[in-house]
Amino acid sequence: METRFKGRVWTFGDDISTDHIIAGKYLGTTDPKVFAEHAFESVDATWAKKVRPGDLIVAGDNFGCGSSREQAPIALKTLGISAIFANSFARIFFRNAINLGFPVLECVGLKTKVKDADVVELDMARGEVRLQDGSMMPFRPLPPNVLEILEAGGLVPKLRKELASGAK
């Protein structure tokens, strides 16, 4: 997988729920484009249009709380968001994102050091983020079993490989 990402920052606060990310009224389909098009609509109706592939999200506590809807990380990944940093993640959102091969990283306090449109660089291998002013901030390393799923590109490719090799 790609291990270095440079991108523009979008900041969000605490307790951003999956209702914020993709509203329930858009879930009556399985088309990821629909989820992407309406991402964060309740926060900013034009957000999905402004996002560019490679952008990053930096948020506060408990990002992704609420419903188990995987449509939330699917929406953000489909828009091309390269990674999400937060002080902490709600558990189902965290699993869902990792299962999609979507990096979600705990970096306590990053939120207070960046603002919208800052450009930061994430180095997965070194476990650090380079801020716009050049300073570095470490993020919490992912547990080995989680990293393994992420590095496989998600849970589906990992399982496909395991099943094919008869490991399970």
Partner 1 sequence: MAGQTISEKILARASAKERVAPGDILDASVDLLYMHEMLAMALLPFNEIGTTKVWDPEKVVVTLDHWVPPPTPEIAKMHQTIREFCRKQGIRRFHDVGDHGIVHQLIAERGYAHPGELVIGSDSHTNMVGAVGAFAAGIGATDTAAVMATGRLWLRVPETIRVDIRGTLSERTSAKDVILKVIGTTGDDGARYAAVEFTGPTVEAFPMNERFVLCNMTTEMGAKVGLIAADETTKAYLAHTGDPFRPIASDEDATFVKTFSFDVHGMGPQVACPSNPANLKPVEDVEGTKIDVAFLGSCTNARIEDLRIAAELLRGEKVAPGVRFQITPASQIIYRQAVKEGLVEIFLDAGATFTSSTCGPCFGGHLGTLAGDEVCISSTNRNYPGRMGSPTAQVYLASPWTVTASALHGEITDPRKV
Instruction: Give the binding site for partner 1 (CB under 8 A).
Output: 15, 17, 19-20, 23-25, 27-30, 41-43, 61-62, 65-71, 88, 90-92, 95-96, 99-100, 143, 145, 154-156, 159-160, 163-164, 168
Considering the complex, state which of residue 26 and residue 113 has its C-beta at the smaller distance from partner 1: 26
Rounded least distance, CB 110 to partner 1, Å: 17
Rounded least distance, CB 55 to partner 1, Å: 22
Tokens at 2, concatenated = 């790609």
Considering the complex, state which of residue 65 and residue 110 has its C-beta at the smaller distance from partner 1: 65
Rounded least distance, CB 113 to partner 1, Å: 21
Rounded least distance, CB 74 to partner 1, Å: 8
Considering the complex, state which of residue 136 and residue 163 has its C-beta at the smaller distance from partner 1: 163
Yes or no: say if 35 and 83 are a contact pair by the CB < 8 Å rule. Answer: no
Cα separation, 47 vs 37, in Å, equals 9
Yes or no: say if 139 and 87 are a contact pair by the CB < 8 Å rule. Answer: no
Considering the complex, state which of residue 120 and residue 150 has its C-beta at the smaller distance from partner 1: 150
Q: At what angle are helices 91-99 and 71-78 packed, to 10 degrees?
A: 50
Considering the complex, state which of residue 97 and residue 124 has its C-beta at the smaller distance from partner 1: 97
Rounded least distance, CB 22 to partner 1, Å: 10
